[in-house]
Amino acid sequence: MTDSTDMRWWYVPMEIVMLRRWIVAAFLVNVLLLTVDYLRAESDLLLLGILSCLLFAALRASLPNVNDHVRRNLSLVLSAILLGIAVYRLLRTELTVFNLWIHCWSLIPSGLTLYWLSGRPVTVWTSRKLSDTAIEYGLMRNAELSKTFHATSTHITLLHFVAITVIPLIWIIDIAFSEGNALGGQIGDSFTTEHFSKILNGDSFWTWLTNSLIVSIGTALLGLFIAIPAGYAFSRYKFTGRDVSMFSFLLVQMFPGIIILVPYFLVMKTLGLLNSHLGLILAYCVTALPLCVWMLKGFFDTIPRELEEAAALDGCNQFQVFTKVVLPLSTPAIAVTALFSFLAAWNEFLLALTFNTSNDMYTLPVGLASLISSTGQAWGDFAAASLLVSLPVALLFLFFQKFLIDGLSAGGVKG
């Protein structure tokens, strides 16, 4: 109780804490959004945009501290001006969802600042000395609000990223469900499933799918099978040739692949691996190996050796130590590397095309490419097929997250 002055300095209403961050975010987004006005070549709006950015910077600088009602009033004035500019800009532009979204980035922050700064908690905090009980109450209130505010800001941020991620995909979905075979048009102007039924009724798609599944699952399994021991050895042992071996995994990825396609083809021919699943599986494993080995090595590094030593003392041999201690602890890394190998095989085009010159052996990406001919690009069919290709992977993502969440926390490393 002796430090009530300190406590007063220490206590800051949640609104102010949040505003300090959100106004920075609003400033950055508004700077980015200046490009819109620039591209639209509307110089007066651009000037207003620059002005609001400057005002946001000023607002951030003038956010009040405790017992500082001058700065509070200044902030109120600034946010009122910002709100005015935002409303004016909104009225000036055509009312579309996109424009509304743009202006929300100045409307909401300035409106919220106005609202919160004129609200009771901040008013009280800036204008008079708070009693200890008031501060205690404030801290409790902060703890409650903090959760909501954090969740809100996380949701807003993630929604923005999801929007950027998903918009092109919505486009693909629209093409796939649109009549005709055009790459464009308005979203949702027509609806048909003809492309899907065309693809699904043909025999080829199922052949491609089977091949892709065999090759991708094979790659994931074989890739893990050879990458795990290697990653473990690199992580745990010091041996002659270790650095060079690790580096040699990278070497191969440095040479542009398209130049050495012909000798690669000759190697596969010599080994009798053309037109076979095994050939592709091996080739993809080799492509995925560098990442798998390096990632696994990095992950094994983080597993304390003490655990293994303890297990060895309990009478486990080296193999048991590995399977009973190390493997269960590395599920997340193994899941990620398996997913990576799977997708490397699932999406690869050039090698699959070069090594498999028979339609029975085509994988999905090659099959997709053969939907495009010299004359008529059947974009509708193509988009529908792409969605069908992506669907299993999306399900796989859902499934794999189990490993990400259950990973180590369940294993319990208490070193």
3-state secondary structure of 182: coil
Report the alpha-carbon distance of residue 260 to residue 350 in Å, rounded: 12
Report the alpha-carbon distance of residue 353 to residue 336 in Å, rounded: 26
Check residue 255 and report its DSSP letter: S
Nearest approach in angstroms of CB 197 to other proteins is 11
Nearest approach in angstroms of CB 50 to other proteins is 18
Q: Contacting other proteins (CB under 8 A), which of 103, 232, 321, 326?
A: 232
Considering beta carbons, is residue 70 or 169 the nearer one to other proteins?
169
Q: Which stretch binds other proteins (CB under 8 A): 47-55, 57-65, 131-139, 345-353?
A: 345-353
Q: Which of residues 249-308 bind other proteins (CB under 8 A)?
A: 249-274, 282-283, 285-286, 289-291, 293-295, 297-299, 301-305
Nearest approach in angstroms of CB 211 to other proteins is 14
Nearest approach in angstroms of CB 153 to other proteins is 9
Q: Does 49 bind other proteins (CB under 8 A)?
A: no
Is the distance from CB of 199 to CB of 385 less than 8 angstroms?
Answer: yes
Q: Contacting other proteins (CB under 8 A), which of 69, 71, 236, 277?
A: 236
C-alpha distances (whole Å) from 324 to each of 186, 242, 296 are: 56, 26, 17
Nearest approach in angstroms of CB 56 to other proteins is 21
Q: Which of residues 114-143 bind other proteins (CB under 8 A)?
A: none
Report the alpha-carbon distance of residue 109 to residue 86 in Å, rounded: 10
How big is the site for other proteins, counted in residues (CB under 8 A)? 148
Q: What's at 242, amino acid-wise?
A: R
Considering beta carbons, is residue 1 or 164 the nearer one to other proteins?
164
Check residue 361 and report its DSSP letter: G
Nearest approach in angstroms of CB 143 to other proteins is 13
3-state secondary structure of 330: coil
Is the distance from CB of 23 to CB of 52 less than 8 angstroms?
Answer: no
Q: Which stretch binds other proteins (CB under 8 A): 71-79, 108-116, 132-140, 403-411?
A: 403-411
3-state secondary structure of 372: strand
Q: Contacting other proteins (CB under 8 A), which of 1, 95, 167, 313?
A: 167
Nearest approach in angstroms of CB 241 to other proteins is 4
Nearest approach in angstroms of CB 278 to other proteins is 9
Q: Which of residues 353-392 bind other proteins (CB under 8 A)?
A: 353-354, 357-359, 364-378, 381-383, 386, 389-390
Q: What's at 266, amino acid-wise?
A: L
Q: Contacting other proteins (CB under 8 A), which of 86, 227, 280, 326?
A: 227
Longest dimension (CA), the chain: 86
Q: Which of residues 182-211 bind other proteins (CB under 8 A)?
A: 182-185, 198-199, 202, 204
Nearest approach in angstroms of CB 159 to other proteins is 9
User: Crossing angle for the helix pair 203-236 and 277-301, nearest 10 degrees?
Assistant: 40
Nearest approach in angstroms of CB 58 to other proteins is 24
Closest CA to 357 of 285, 279, 302: 279
Considering beta carbons, is residue 87 or 149 the nearer one to other proteins?
149
Report the alpha-carbon distance of residue 162 to residue 160 in Å, rounded: 5
The two structure tokens encoding residue 66: 């405790």
Count of CB atoms situated within 10 Å of the CB of 329: 22
Report the alpha-carbon distance of residue 169 to residue 387 in Å, rounded: 9
Considering beta carbons, is residue 75 or 363 the nearer one to other proteins?
363
Q: Which stretch binds other proteins (CB under 8 A): 22-30, 50-58, 213-221, 339-347?
A: 339-347
87: left (phi over 0), alpha (psi -120 to 50) or beta: alpha
3-state secondary structure of 239: coil
Interface mask toward other proteins for 54-93; x: CB under 8 A: ----------------------------------------
Residues 232-251 as b or e (16 or more Cβ within 10 Å = b): bebbbeeeeeeeeebeebee
Q: Which stretch binds other proteins (CB under 8 A): 52-60, 76-84, 121-129, 401-409?
A: 401-409
Tokens 């080739």 locate to 283
